[in-house]
Amino acid sequence: MTLPVKLTGEMGAFRRDPLGMLERCAKEHGDLARIRFGLNRAVILSHPALVEEVLVTRNQSFRKNPATRRLGTLIGRGLLSSDGEAWRRQRRLTQPAFHRSRVNAMGEAIVDYAQRQLATWQQGETHDVHREMMELTLQIACKTLFGAEVAADMRVVREATRVVGEHFLSRLRSLLFLLPDWVPTPGNVRFARAVHQLDALIYRFIRERSEDRGDLLSMLLASDMSPTEVRDEVMTFFLAGHETTALALTWALYLLALHPSAREKLEQEAHAVLGGRAPTVEDVASMAYTRAVVDEALRMYPPAYLQGRQALLDLTVGGQPIQKGTTLLMSQWLIHHDARFYEAPWEFRPERWLDGSLARQLPRFAYFPFGGGQRQCIGNAFAQLEATLILACIAQRPRLALAPDQRIELQALITLRPKYGMRMTAA
C-alpha cells in the first residue's frame, strides 16, 4: 500500500464524474487516499482488507456517512439510514421476513409477474429494458413484502421517483446541499409533492392490510413501532427493494447483448433444465451459468457502487490515523475492477464464477455487491433469487439486441444507472 497523500476539493470532480474521480484518486494515491470532500475530510479505501476493517472488525466505530443520512428526508429513520440501537431493533424486527424459507416462498410470485411482463414484449418491438425491469421489480417487491398491487400506479410512481432522484442529485451537485429541505425553493416544492404522492401509496398499503400474512408489512404492523416508524420502514423497502435488482438485470441484459456466446450458453442451460416450462425456486441450484451471469453483472456494474461510513472517534485503519468525523468511502466499482484480484477485470466472463474456486480464493471484500458485516444487504438472497429467476424467464424468450442508436453512458448517482436508458429490440 502506498503512502496517503493529502488532496483538496474533490467534491467538484466527484460531481462531474464520480467513477473517474474514484479511479484517479486510487491510481494516484493508493489504497488509502486522503481527499477533501467539500468541507469534510474523506478517505477512499480501495483494498479489501481495509474495507473489512471498516465494515466488520471495527464496525462499532462507524456510522452511516452524512450523504446516506441525508436520504432520511425521504426514508426517515428506516433500516437503511438509521444507526446504533434504533438500527439493531429494526434489523431484529425485519430479519425474519427475509428468512430463507420466506424468500423461497416468493419464487412463484416472481416468475408470475416476470412471465406476465415478458408476454407484452412482441418480436420486433423496442423496449427500454431499464424501465421495464424497474417496473417489474417494483411490482414484485410490493406484492411479496406488502401484499400490494401497484400495476395501476406505475405512472405516478415513475414520476415521483424521478423527481425524488433528481432532487438528491441536484443537491449533491450544488451548494443547495447545505440548505434544509423545508426552504421553499422550486426544487424543494416539487420534492415535497413527490414525497407526498409516494406517502399516499404507502399509507394505502397500510390501510388495506387487515389480516396477518406473515410478510414484512404484517411484521411491522404487529410490532410496537409508531405509525411514522412503520411508514419510514415501508418507504425504505419500497425504494431499496427494487431499483438495485432492476439495475443488476439491466446490466446483465446489456452484457448478454454484447456477448452472443454467453447468451447462447444461458439459453442452453434454460433449455436443458427447464425444457420450456417456467422456472421454480428448486431449479435455481441447477442453473449455475444463469447464476454466474448475475454474479458477473454485479461485479462489472455493481448497482451499489459506493458505500460510506463516518468515523465516530479517532482511530486507525490499515495502521493509518483517521480522525473522528472523517468519511470513509469504499467503492465496489474500484475493487471489482482491480487486476490484483481479477484476471482481465474489464472483461465479461461469467465462467470465472463457475467452479467456485475464484470465490474461495478471493479476499473477503474483493467482491461485495451487497456490502458486508452486520449491515450487509438484508435483501441479498431475495435479490439473487429474483434476478436468477427473471433471467431464466428471459432466456426462454427471443434474443434482445441493443437498439442501434442507444447511447450507453454510466450515470453514477446513488446507484449505477444507464444514463440514457437501455432500449433493446426483441429479435
Chain residues binding ligand HEM by CB under 6 A are 79-80, 91, 141, 236-237, 240-241, 244-245, 248, 303-304, 307, 369-371, 375, 377-379, 382-383
The nearer residue to ligand HEM, 98 or 203, going by C-beta atoms, is 98
* Cα first-last separation, the chain: 49
Q: What minimum distance in Å lies between the beta carbon of 62 and ligand HEM? A: 10
Which residue, 188 or 244, has its beta carbon nearer to ligand HEM? Answer: 244
Of 397, 418, 427, the C-alpha closest to 129 is 418
Euclidean distance between CA atoms 98 and 91, whole angstroms: 11
Residue 274 or 304: the one with the smaller Cβ distance to ligand HEM is 304
The alpha carbon of 165 is separated from its chain's Cα centroid by a whole number of angstroms, namely: 14
Provide, rounded to whole angstroms, the least separation between the CB of residue 145 and ligand HEM: 6
Cβ 125 to ligand HEM shortest distance, Å? 26
3-state helix, strand, coil in the chain (%, to 5): 60, 10, 30
Min dist CB 283 to ligand HEM, Å, is 20
Cα–Cα distance measured from residue 132 to residue 127, given in angstroms and rounded to the nearest whole number:
7
Comparison of 160 and 378: residue with beta carbon closer to ligand HEM: 378
Are the C-beta atoms of 247 and 253 separated by less than 8 Å?
no
Three cell numbers, residue 98: 427475509
- How many helices and strands in the chain, by DSSP H and E? 19, 12
Considering beta carbons, is residue 18 or 369 the nearer one to ligand HEM? 369
Buried b or exposed e, range 313-347, using 16+ CB within 10 angstroms: eebebbeeebeeebbbbbbbbbbbbeeebbeeeee
Q: Which residue is nearest to ligand HEM (CB)?
A: 379
Compute the least distance from the CB of residue 172 to ligand HEM, in Å: 16
Least separation in angstroms between CB 88 and ligand HEM = 9
Comparison of 244 and 327: residue with beta carbon closer to ligand HEM: 244
